[in-house]
């Protein structure tokens, strides 16, 4: 059971917009700790997608955006492309003194 809760899967057609939620609690996201998002393509290491709730590293398309409110965060992907098919993980920090990840969400592009 992950400390951060994500839907196991989401899907969308090319060109559409999808969102992935990440629900935490008052000891992590709600405590003000930043949320970060990673994209993991099959057979590869995770890649940083969003840091500090809503910031994109250089090279990440602006189709990807992040937001945070209260004890939750969301990743939005607009203009869905086949290459976006991957697993997505949210991550934060918990007052129990550890880094915590969500269980991951598999995005399928229909």
Q: Is 106 in the site for other proteins (CB under 8 A)?
A: no
12, 21, 27, 34: residue in contact with other proteins (rule CB under 8 A): 34
Nearer to other proteins, 52 or 79 (CB): 52
CB of 86 to other proteins, least distance (A): 13
96 makes contact with other proteins (CB under 8 A): yes
- For residue 11, give both structure tokens: 């899907």
List residues near other proteins by CB under 8 A: 2, 33-34, 36, 38, 44-48, 51-52, 57, 89, 91-93, 96-104
């Amino acid at each position: 059971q992950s400390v951060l809760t994500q839907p196991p899967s989401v899907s969308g057609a090319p060109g559409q917009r999808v969102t992935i939620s990440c629900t935490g609690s008052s000891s992590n996201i709600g405590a003000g700790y930043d949320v970060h998002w990673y994209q993991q393509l099959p057979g590869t290491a995770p890649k940083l997608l969003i840091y500090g709730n809503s910031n994109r590293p250089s090279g990440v398309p602006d189709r990807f955006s992040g937001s945070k409110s209260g004890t939750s965060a969301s990743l939005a992907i607009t203009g869905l492309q086949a290459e976006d098919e991957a697993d997505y993980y949210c991550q934060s920090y918990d007052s129990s003194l550890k880094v915590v990840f969500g269980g991951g969400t598999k995005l399928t592009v229909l």
